[in-house]
Each structure stands twice: as structure tokens, then as C-alpha cells.
Amino acid sequence: MHPQARRIWLAAIGGSIAMKAAQTIRQLGFRKWYERELIHSHAHLVLLVLSAVGLLGSAEVYSGSAPLADQLLTVACATASAAIGLWALRRYVYLLMHAEHIANQAVCPQCDAYAKWLPVDEDARYKRLSVRCKRCECCWDIDL
């Protein structure tokens, strides 16, 4: 893929992920969204552990004296486990870091209230959510 096309594609994907987060926060509220993101990310951590078990199981089963078909099947299982594990690790880290990135901005700059705000507006172009504090009516932007 051409680097420019890849950059545009990644920006579109990132924008859609950010807007999906904004939509979910608007529907469920920040606390529920945050809880779901943590559960989702830790589900990927469980998948990572399971794929590590699959990789170790493949290493345990592999034998150089086994028939070639069995060796190939074992290598295929190890490769699939490794690929799934790498994907799960990337998703785990991404979801956790994204949730923490937004959670770190969820504190009202005026009264220090955590997660006591309502979304007011969203800007898809800059992946930003404008929020207003329920306690002191202070407004600020959260980068998604």
C-alpha cells in the first residue's frame, strides 16, 4: 500500500474509532464506556495468555522424529498461536492506553471532579469531545 494511502486509511480508521468512542460515551456515559473498554482490553489479555498456552503446547508436541505432516501441522499451530498472540497484545495495549488517555482527561480543570461531565459537542475532524462539568459548569475538550 502506498504510504500516503496508508496514512489516509489509518487516519480514517482512527477517526472512526474516536467517533465510535464519542458515540458510546454519549449513549452510556463515560464510566460505563471506560468499564467496557477495560473489560474489552483485558479480554484480549486473556486471549494472549491462551495463545501463549497454544504456542507452548505446540513446542511441547513438536518432535523432529514425527512424520512431516505432523511437524507441519505443529508448526502451523505454533504460527497461528503466535500471530493471534501478537494481535491480542496489540489490541490489549491499544485499548488500555486509549481508555487511560481519555480517563486522564476526565478530570474537571476547575473543580477536580472525576468523570462528572456530560458531552456537549464532538468534532470528528479533530477527534475531540467537548464536555461540560456537572458540578461547576466548566467546559473543556477531551482528545479522543
- H or E segment at 120? strand 117-123
Q: Is 120 in the site for Zn ion (CB under 5 A)?
A: no
Q: Is 43 in the site for Zn ion (CB under 5 A)?
A: no
At residue 81, φ and ψ (nearest 5 deg) are: -65, -45
Binding characters for Zn ion, 97-116, by CB under 5 A (x = yes): -----------x-xx-x---
Question: Do 91 and 114 meet the contact criterion of CB atoms below 8 Å apart?
Answer: no
Binder of Zn ion out of 136, 139, 140, 141 (CB under 5 A): 136
* Whole-angstrom distance, CA of residue 114 vs CA of residue 139: 14
Q: Which is nearer to Zn ion, 137 or 143 (CB)?
A: 137
Q: Is 133 in the site for Zn ion (CB under 5 A)?
A: yes
Q: Which is nearer to Zn ion, 87 or 141 (CB)?
A: 141
At residue 89, φ and ψ (nearest 5 deg) are: -65, -45
